[in-house]
Amino acid sequence: MLIQVDWYRYTGKWAYGTRVEVDAEAWNNKKIVTEIIKNQGEITKDWWISKDMYMVLNDIPESWKDPNYRMTYARLYTPEQIFQLAEGY
């Protein structure tokens, strides 16, 4: 499923944004984060190690138009959460 991923600097300023294909359930935070790290092509591959980016996930409008759509990916990950969830990636 495609989701919108936006990265914000520690100051709160928007830095990057793209759509990323993830194959993970909405409740599986570890898998969502590792899928984003693996599948995104917008920023450097090891961005999550630096611990200076917040990551915001949102559904895309195309999903909202589907009457069978039952998931939500709207959430915020702090740099510390991202690093912890990506551990072992």
Instruction: Provide mean pLDDT across the span 3-22.
Output: 94
The answer to pTM > 0.75 is yes
So where are the chain's domains? 2-86
Q: Are 31 and 25 in contact (CB under 8 A)?
A: yes
For residue 79, pLDDT over 80 is answered with yes
For residue 25, pLDDT over 90 is answered with no
**For 30-39, how does the pLDDT look when each residue is reduced to its tens digit (9 = 90+)?**
999 999 999 9
Cα Rg of the chain (Å, integer) = 13
CA geometry: angle at 59 spanning 54 and 24, to 5°? 80
In order, the DSSP letters of 64-82 are HH-TT------EEE-HHHH
